Structure 1
Amino acid sequence: MKHFLLLLIASLFASAAHAQYVTNLTLMKNHFLTGEPVVATVTIVNRSGADAIVGGKGARDWLQFEITEASGRTLAPITIGSEQALTLKAGGTTKHTVELSGGYSTADLGTFHMVVNVLHPISGQFYQSNRARLMITDSKPNLFDQPFGVPEGFPGAGRARRFQVILYRELDNLQLYCRVTDDRSGSYIATFLLGPVLMVTEPQIVIDPKNNLNIFFLARPQLFCHVIVSPDGTLKHRTYYKNLDESRPSLIMTPAGGRVVGGEPFDPSAPAPVKKMRKASDRPPGL
């Protein structure tokens, strides 16, 4: 069974020696809500002694994910190729991050195991990874659950859907999830994690005039997050704001949509500023 999946490639080369592939599978996390995408990282060490070229237009799919239920029944495999040819260097290590989306990988509740098989194109054989464990659970919307109509310009325009926001306890943390469902059938269109949330401040959750869902919440102490989810269930926008003593950020509604006022925009991925050492010549006069 083939699916259109997002394949993000990042390569890292190292040194090694003999005999086909050594493959390792890791998951971004092990607990998932029903319908949530699974993000997996596949690490391949090519020990065949020769470069292996995988993927490319019309080439055979070279990644095959197998999911097994606790009872031992194996689900239909998920196969993935890549539009561009990739070279797995002899003696090198490559890492490939794959998002298994669409809900089929987490459609049922329970405990599952996943392995990935990687094609060695020269021999035509697949080499299997270790087993990774998944736990699929579900939760009812406990923060927000409201219907909306899909606007013109989106697939399914005119259909009734629901925006749902779920507060879910995962181990020792509270996580915030968003879900979009079909209002008539109740089927899940999209489920995704927004991130950790601190309930010291109640999240602001509003559907704006364009039927986008705006969620404004405290992600960590003094740091707020503003997320916009479009009617088709895609994450459209995410920005962070620092709380300032004289200016606390908050969400307001305008005819154009949700907007954050106050606070200071913040990029969590930006490197921390380096504090400069003061020179002896910088000392105040008289010291």
Structure 2
Amino acid sequence: MNRLFLLLILCLCCGQARAQYVTNLTLIKDHFLTGEPVVAVVSITNRSGADVIVGGHGSRDWLQFEITQNTGQNLAPITIGSAEPITMKAGGTLKQTVELSGGYSTANLGTFSMVANVLHPLSGQFFQSNKVRLTITDSKPNMFDQPFGVPEGYANAGRQRRYQVILFRELNELQLYCRLTDDRSGSYIATFLLGPAMMVVQPQIAIDVHNKLHVLFLAQPHIYCHVVVNPDGKVHQRSYYRDPEGNRPEMIMTSTGAKVVGGEPFDPGAPPVRKKGLRKASERPKDMESVPKKK
């Protein structure tokens, strides 16, 4: 009888533990280039029945990612904390977007599975999310590959690096990537997406007098994207241009850098211009009202 009661208590405790969080993990995409950051979105619904506080100065890391290769090999877990405390309200849902960068998650080629573990501080337990899959591939710099020296004002000034631009087919879409490599060791410093590209117009790619990389490419029909990349591998500027009839944007190099001529500036975040509808009869011009009707 005592054993049966003890077993019932253990089952109830396990049920309560599993019910602390409902956690869902998604990735913004499932195919990545080597060294590209993996962006994960973790949604956590607090089912513990009480508010839960995670993070804060000196607190334990509360979010953990486990990555397993299809061969069964486990990579080193990635743990993340937060300097400021985060309150998960009872019954509420917290959504966190996390960028796993540094190449530790995409340094190897192959297919991987990933889960997120979320800490419940009161019990000290981590609760696991669903499993997602991701594939890591690589591609040679098939669009652009040129060395440059890191100018003064940046870390590792004087060191030689390479800008590489890669056209990569992801499912049914062409994507344009930029990669920064160390010319001596060949190691990847940064790999990041420039955007979807339409190859009906060849991209213009050049390094300016300040050793910044400029890429102008057709992102959507009649919409061009101009991206400027700093020698440290960070995007300095991203701007868009519309291609009116017979006035295609083009990039020209100048003594101070580069500029885009032609086309017209375009804001992809602006609301679409509403087309004017048909006039109502009550809105017809006054001079039309004076025209006598035909008998």
| Both structures adopt the same fold (TM-score exceeding 0.5) | yes
Partner of residue 8, structure 1: none
Mapped pair 1:241 → 2:237: no
Q: Write the mapping of 1:185-196 to structure 2, written as runs, cut at 5 A.
A: 185-196=185-196
Deviations 1:245-278 (A, max 9, x none): 1522111112221211121111112222334544
In structure 2, how many angstroms separate the alpha carbons of the residues matched to 1:280 and 1:86?
Answer: 59
Partner of residue 61, structure 2: 61
In structure 2, how many angstroms separate the alpha carbons of the residues matched to 1:96 and 1:220?
Answer: 30
Mapped pair 1:281 → 2:282: yes
Q: Write the mapping of 1:1-287 to structure 2, written as runs, cut at 5 A.
A: 19-277=19-277, 278-284=279-285, 285=288
CA contact (8 A) 1:182 1:188 kept: yes
In structure 1, how many angstroms separate the alpha carbons of the residues matched to 2:39 and 2:26?
Answer: 9
User: Which secondary structure state, in structure 2, belongs to the residue aligned with residue 104 of structure 1?
Assistant: coil
Bigger Cα Rg? 2
Cα pair distance change 1:282/1:247, threshold 3 Å = farther
Letter in 1 for 2:116: V
Letter in 1 for 2:282: S
Percentage identity across paired residues of the two chains: 70
CA contact (8 A) 1:19 1:49 kept: no
In structure 2, how many angstroms separate the alpha carbons of the residues matched to 1:106 and 1:181?
Answer: 15
In structure 2, how many angstroms separate the alpha carbons of the residues matched to 1:121 and 1:267?
Answer: 45
User: Which secondary structure state, in structure 1, belongs to the residue aligned with residue 105 of structure 2?
Assistant: helix
From the two aligned structures, give the one with the greater strand fraction: 1
CA contact (8 A) 1:21 1:46 kept: yes
Letter in 1 for 2:220: R
Residue 71 of structure 1 and its aligned partner are, at CA, apart by: 1.1
Letter in 1 for 2:269: S
Partner of residue 11, structure 1: none
Letter in 2 for 1:225: C
CA contact (8 A) 1:249 1:260 kept: yes
In structure 2, how many angstroms separate the alpha carbons of the residues matched to 1:270 and 1:217?
Answer: 20
User: Which secondary structure state, in structure 2, belongs to the residue aligned with residue 281 of structure 1?
Assistant: helix
In structure 2, how many angstroms separate the alpha carbons of the residues matched to 1:252 and 1:60?
Answer: 52
Letter in 1 for 2:283: D
Report which stretch shifted further, 242-251 or 187-196. Answer: 242-251
Deviations 1:16-66 (A, max 9, x none): xx9310000000000000000000000000000001111111111110001
Unaligned runs of 5+ in 2: 1-17
Report which stretch shifted further, 274-283 or 244-253. Answer: 274-283
Residue 280 of structure 1 and its aligned partner are, at CA, apart by: 3.1
Unaligned runs of 5+ in 1: 1-17
Letter in 2 for 1:30: D
CA RMSD, 1 decimal: 1.5
Question: What is the TM-score with the length of structure 2 in the denominator?
Answer: 0.88
Letter in 2 for 1:56: G
User: Which secondary structure state, in structure 2, belongs to the residue aligned with residue 216 of structure 1?
Assistant: strand
In structure 1, how many angstroms separate the alpha carbons of the residues matched to 2:233 and 2:128?
Answer: 34
How many aligned residue pairs are there? 270
User: Which secondary structure state, in structure 1, belongs to the residue aligned with residue 282 of structure 2?
Assistant: helix
